[in-house]
Amino acid sequence: MRSYTIIAMALWACIVHAEKLVPFNSTEIQSVLAPEENRVWAQAEEIKQSIEKSDKLVTDNAIRVYLHAIADKLYPELRNKVHIHLFRAPHLNAFALPNGQIYLNVGLIARMENEAQLAALLGHEIAHFSYRHGHQQSQQVKSATAFARFVTLLGLPLIPDLLAISSIYGFSQELETEADEIGFERMVRAGYDPREAVRLFRLLQIEVKALDITEPFFFASHPKLQDRIDNFERLIREKGITDGEHSEKTFFEQIAHLRLHAMELDLAHNRYQPIIILLEAQSNLDRYPPEALYYLGEAYLRRGQEGDLQKAIKSFEQTTASVPTFALAHRALGMLRYKDRTHETAIPHLERYLELAPQAKDRAFVEHYLLEARKVHKP
Amino acid sequence: MNRIAAFLLCLLLCSCAVWTRIDQTDAVKGPGGNYHVVLPLGWVQFNPAGTDKLMITRDGPRMQRILLSRSSLEQAFPKLKKAAAISMLLPELAELQVAEMRTENSLTNIEIIETKPATVAGISAYRALLQYKDPKGLPIKILLYGFISKDSYHVLLFEAPQLHYFDRDLPVFEKMVLSARAS
């Protein structure tokens, strides 16, 4: 954490007033690049290629099409110039590279409630690209990158460049406010309700506070989220906005599987608390697919406090009742029953698991326990 | 300035690993002493002072490495702040081990290919085959065995680039695991 603080301080120390650049608004973006900006684009291209090599991007064409449709609605002049990618990581993070590559973590998109909230985030990040903030920052923080030379983050390479030219830690307050204003204007123009931006940033702020998140990312920073809330509330007040489109249903259909994937990622990193905080609220649970209860059960098991085992069993049983074909819930129940030696109950669940997931990575283990259970319980 | 440079040089030299060639075919004590194992002949070993770890390689740790480690049950998964327990099923131990590894920046994208039951030194163990890509996109494979013996959690790990090294040196690792005997 100390190294992140030093980097953040170094970045801030180096930031001075930026020269104003004309925003990208035509199809001939590369022809208007300044010579120095070409270098920044080359760095961004290297980062993009490294990210692609890392195998961390979601390759789901349907969700890509959906994300790009929202981006096109917000910035029609930048069609085919903005490329949105989903990053397979549970953290609350999103960032833009100067060459129009926008990265959103699955964990962040999974927290959203509707399309308007997603539009708020995309509106803000694309504004960083459109208004060439990466180039502006790179000219001011060259010396700061020296501090960041040995820092790695989420296994991403080229981090000094990433820090210098992307929005991963946020830009100067001036540039961030500009991105808020542009994003707000684009949301309103596209018909979205900008009040949902405030709601999104508040939701993230609540989670950051409840989980005591110390990750240095822009959208996991309590004060930076507060700045977004203040800016959007001011803009809403000034423009007198009282309504707009939320598009909750479409959003839900498009990202239901991502919500489950985000929880899978949380569990893979043993981050059980976000799942418990999210899903213990009935209002949130209603917005999740029924399989979400399985992940809540796993989160209880990992937390392991008094009473969590019973809560986990109840969650798994509710999952098998509502989605009988969901293999993982059968595995969880089978293993728990095997462990507490109620073999007659374990057997049908383990059998069902293997039937539903014949290619399971732990098939040999489950077959082994099934064999052991059958030795003890002979029908 | 010169004194600082000399100090840094001393520090560097002190921190240099002392690798010794494995030239005996007798079984040696594994870290913690709960089992004996025959190390691969001709490879080199390094035992960091003050740790229950033994690292072995043939061409250098970036080419291939075998790591034998031992920890107390309480300290089994320090980054997750979780303990191992005899009551845990082996797949639970394997899941915690992988989650612990994922806390390393370079291993956040590690994926499980397969887990299955195994036996090491006559003790029930898990065998987990994993893979990840390093920051340059090079696929790396890891095979690890984990088990609880007495009051200790033991891991025997083999890691190498998928290309050429993993398949070439895997039999050496598997032979070493097979040689393990309870002390």
| Average pLDDT across chain B, whole number | 89
Cross-chain residue pair B103–A269, CB shorter than 8 Å: yes
Q: Look at residue B119 and tell me whether its pLDDT is greater than 90.
A: yes
Mean pLDDT score, B17-27: 84
Encode pLDDT of B152-179 as tens digits: 999 999 999 999 999 999 999 999 999 9
Q: Residue A95 and residue A128: Cα distance in Å, rounded?
A: 9
Cross-chain residue pair A362–B114, CB shorter than 8 Å: yes
CB B93 within 8 A of CB B146: yes
Q: Residue B73 and residue B83: Cα distance in Å, rounded?
A: 6
Distances (CA, A) of A282 to A273, A291, A298, B13, B55: 16, 14, 18, 60, 50
- Residue A140: the pLDDT is 57
* Amino acid identity for residue B40 in this structure: P
| H-helix or E-strand spanning residue A320 | helix A308-322
User: To the nearest whole angstrom, how far is the Cα of A76 from the nearest Cα of chain B?
Assistant: 34
- Residue A116: the pLDDT is 97
Rounded to two decimals, what is the model's pTM?
0.82
Which token pair is B29? 């004590």
CB A108 within 8 A of CB A90: no
Q: Residue A162 and residue A148: Cα distance in Å, rounded?
A: 10
Encode pLDDT of B77-109 as tens digits: 999 989 999 999 999 999 999 999 988 877 878
DSSP at B162: I
Q: Look at residue B16 and tell me whether its pLDDT is greater than 60.
A: no
- Residue A20: the pLDDT is 58
Return the beta strands (E) in chain A as ranges: 83-87, 94-96, 101-105
Identify all chain B residues contacting A155, using CB atoms and an 8 Å cutoff: 105-109, 135
Mean pLDDT score, B103-129: 92
Question: Which candidate from A54, A269, A361 shows the least CB-CB separation from B137?
Answer: A54
Encode pLDDT of B23-74 as tens digits: 878 888 889 888 999 999 999 999 887 789 999 999 999 999 999 999 999 9
Cross-chain residue pair A269–B108, CB shorter than 8 Å: yes
Cross-chain residue pair A361–B114, CB shorter than 8 Å: yes
- What is the pLDDT confidence band of residue B3, given thresholds at 50, 70 and 90? low
Question: Which candidate from A156, A338, A362 shows the least CB-CB separation from B115?
Answer: A362
CB B157 within 8 A of CB B142: yes
Q: Which residues of chain A have a pLDDT value below 50?
A: 1-3, 6-7, 9-18, 142-155, 157-158
Q: What is the ipTM of this complex?
A: 0.85
Question: Which candidate from B87, B98, B116 shows the least CB-CB separation from A365?
Answer: B116
CB A119 within 8 A of CB A192: yes
Cross-chain residue pair B108–A364, CB shorter than 8 Å: no
Identify all chain A residues contacting B116, using CB atoms and an 8 Å cutoff: 362, 364-365, 368
Encode pLDDT of A10-30 as tens digits: 444 444 344 556 777 655 666
Question: Which candidate from A155, A270, A368 shows the least CB-CB separation from B108?
Answer: A155
